[in-house]
């Protein structure tokens, strides 16, 4: 029945299939032979994993690279369309970089608007020269060891989305010269994923883009180095609306002119590196690097802090208490912790993830700085590197109740509670002081719910008469 459809309809159908499946239609009948080459191709997908089948034996897998190479050469030799919307090249096996360079150069001749490269290669592959200056290219995703040629003046005049993986061994041009206005003048979305491989390398990442709206950074250490890492991140993006920063070693951050930032997610200093060697918590100066990130977030409406961020901030005060500071210095740091030199006047959504008991001391500090919070998420996350998370510390009863709890806080969600008696103090405080609270949801991470904990929670009197309390376990939901 499909064969009887008009040829242009069949071509349109083929344009939505993966390249492997579209090419496979050539065996159906003579009328299907090479029909896919005339299709208005929307997706040229060259993926070596699609050549594997459940019945593939070890001998077939051994010859997979040569089979895939022959397949790609055959497909590229038959394409006869004027343009390709999306090119996706996925190679999980090591191939000759010269072959990969040739495939990319040939495929990119067809005025491609989206390029997605996921290639495993120890040796860097070259980005096709016909992409530099392309007025067709809008999306570029490089999950590979890619080399860019900075000898000539490069530019991506129509590029709006850029995803790139940066290796520590790459030329510094990638991190210091690529993310600039004159190279990507209309870039709106940038995702940088990086790995630090060399402990003696000083890494500098500069992002100076006036048009950028969404930025995500994920940097991690490939090994636990014993010192020497210095990583600086400089951000100047006056039109940035969404910021997502994640690294596992608490880098030095500097951000300016984030006046329109609406959403921020910060996860810095997850303890998978050797902090003692880096001496990150020894800096008790009020100009602590962690605060440098927060100082540009005063206009956000949605803020998420998780992982080691809360630990880094809280440990700064703990360090101050044990380093022999005089009273004036200690009080100055405490004041800075309490106020963050910030006032989140627009913040309505706040999410906090804690991995250490000390981190809970930040919760009242943030609530006092955020008078308009309506939705609050608290996540108690297990810190696998520490056995000290046995007690949940909370603020003292004599401290004033944050303004948001009296006027705006309407919904609270708590995740990761384990039914411990210490956790009741947190629940009791919110239920007893959140005057306009409409709903509290508590997720208890247990194979079987702690019925005593659930019963205690449901018996706590609420200051808000219409408040609904819900306790969710892995097996049941109790209301």
Tell me the per-residue pLDDT of 40-86, one tens digit each, with 9 for 90 and over.
556 788 888 776 654 555 555 666 778 888 888 888 887 776 777 88
In a domain, 172, yes or no: no
Grouping H, G, I as helix, E, B as strand and the rest as coil, residue 130 is helix
- Average pLDDT on 107-123 reads 87
Output b/e per residue, 126-145; b: 16+ Cβ within 10 A: ebbebbbebebbbbbbbbbb
In a domain, 121, yes or no: no
What is the distance between the alpha carbons of residues 56 and 69, in angstroms, rounded to a whole number? 18
In a domain, 417, yes or no: yes
Q: Which domain holds residue 431?
A: 300-322+332-478
What is the distance between the alpha carbons of residues 371 and 63, in angstroms, rounded to a whole number? 64
CB 256 within 8 A of CB 227: no
- Tell me what pLDDT residue 3 has: 81
- Tell me what pLDDT residue 184 has: 95
Grouping H, G, I as helix, E, B as strand and the rest as coil, residue 267 is strand
In a domain, 239, yes or no: no
Look at 55-69, 264-278, 378-392, 435-449 and tell me which has the smallest mean pLDDT: 264-278
The mean pLDDT value of the chain amounts to: 76
- Tell me what pLDDT residue 324 has: 38
In a domain, 359, yes or no: yes
Is residue 333 packed enough to be buried (19+ CB in 10 Å), middle (13-18) or exposed (0-12)?
buried
pLDDT band, very low/low/confident/very high, at 382 (cuts 50, 70, 90): low
**Selected residue with higher pLDDT from 474 and 276:** 474
**Number of neighbours of residue 374 by Cβ within 10 angstroms:** 16
Per the structure, how many domains does the chain have?
A: 2
**Selected residue with higher pLDDT from 449 and 330:** 449
Question: Global pTM?
Answer: 0.78
What is the distance between the alpha carbons of residues 247 and 335, in angstroms, rounded to a whole number? 27
pLDDT band, very low/low/confident/very high, at 97 (cuts 50, 70, 90): confident
To 10 degrees, the CA torsion angle through 277, 280, 282, 284?
180
Of the ranges 133-137, 184-188, 301-305, the best mean pLDDT one:
184-188
CB 86 within 8 A of CB 114: yes
Grouping H, G, I as helix, E, B as strand and the rest as coil, residue 164 is strand
Q: How many CA atoms lie within 13 A of 20 on its CB side?
A: 15
Q: What is the CA angle 479-416-273, rounded to 5?
A: 170
In a domain, 460, yes or no: yes
CB 395 within 8 A of CB 364: yes
CB 422 within 8 A of CB 394: no
Residues pairing with 221 in the sheet: 196
What is the distance between the alpha carbons of residues 417 and 137, in angstroms, rounded to a whole number? 48
Tell me the per-residue pLDDT of 297-348, one tens digit each, with 9 for 90 and over.
888 999 988 765 554 554 443 433 433 333 443 333 344 444 455 678 899 9
State the alpha helices, DSSP H only, in 39-87. 58-62, 64-78
**Nearest CA-CA partner of 285 in 232, 342, 337, 228:** 337
In a domain, 240, yes or no: no
What is the distance between the alpha carbons of residues 203 and 251, in angstroms, rounded to a whole number? 10
């Amino acid at each position: 029945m499909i064969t009887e459809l008009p040829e242009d309809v069949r071509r349109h159908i083929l344009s939505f299939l993966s390249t492997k499946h579209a090419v496979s239609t050539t065996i159906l009948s003579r009328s299907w032979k090479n029909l896919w080459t005339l299709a208005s191709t929307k997706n040229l997908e060259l993926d070596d994993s699609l050549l594997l089948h459940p019945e593939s034996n070890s001998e077939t897998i051994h010859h997979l690279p040569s089979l895939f190479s022959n397949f790609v050469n055959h497909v590229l030799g038959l394409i006869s369309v004027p343009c390709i919307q999306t090119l996706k090249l996925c190679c999980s096996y090591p191939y000759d970089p010269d072959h990969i360079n040739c495939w990319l150069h040939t495929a990119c001749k067809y005025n491609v608007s989206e390029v997605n490269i996921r290639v495993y290669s120890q040796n860097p592959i070259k980005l096709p020269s016909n992409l530099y200056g392309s007025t067709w290219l809008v999306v570029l995703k490089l999950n590979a060891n890619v080399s860019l040629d900075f000898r000539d003046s490069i530019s991506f005049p129509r590029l709006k989305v850029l995803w790139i993986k940066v290796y520590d061994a790459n030329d510094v041009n990638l991190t210091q010269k690529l993310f600039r206005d004159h190279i990507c003048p209309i870039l709106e979305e940038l995702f940088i994923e990086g790995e630090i491989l060399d402990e003696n390398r000083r890494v500098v990442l500069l992002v100076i883009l006036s048009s950028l709206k969404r930025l995500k950074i994920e940097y991690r250490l490939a090994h636990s180095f014993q010192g020497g890492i210095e990583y600086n991140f400089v951000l100047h993006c006056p039109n940035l609306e969404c910021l997502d920063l994640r690294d596992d070693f608490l880098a030095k951050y500097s951000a300016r002119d984030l006046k329109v930032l609406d959403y921020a997610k910060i996860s810095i200093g997850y303890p998978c590196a050797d902090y003692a060697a880096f001496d990150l918590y020894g800096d008790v100066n009020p100009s602590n690097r962690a605060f440098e990130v927060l100082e540009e977030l005063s206009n956000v409406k949605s803020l998420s802090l998780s992982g080691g961020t809360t630990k880094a901030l809280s440990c700064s005060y703990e360090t101050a208490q044990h380093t022999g500071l005089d009273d004036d210095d200690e009080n100055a740091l405490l004041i800075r912790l309490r106020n963050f030199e910030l006032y989140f006047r627009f913040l309505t959504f706040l999410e906090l993830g804690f991995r250490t008991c000390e981190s809970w001391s930040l919760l009242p500090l943030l609530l006092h700085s955020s008078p308009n919070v309506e939705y609050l998420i608290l996540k108690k996350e297990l810190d696998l590197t520490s056995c000290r998370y046995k007690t949940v510390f909370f603020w003292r009863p004599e401290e004033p109740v944050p303004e948001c709890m009296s006027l705006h806080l309407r919904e609270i969600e708590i995740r990761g509670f384990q039914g411990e008696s210490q956790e009741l103090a947190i629940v009791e405080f919110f239920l007893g002081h959140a005057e306009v609270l409409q709903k509290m949801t508590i997720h208890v991470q247990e194979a079987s719910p702690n019925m005593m904990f659930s019963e205690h929670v449901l018996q706590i009197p609420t200051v808000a008469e219409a408040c609904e309390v819900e306790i969710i376990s892995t097996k049941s939901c109790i209301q």
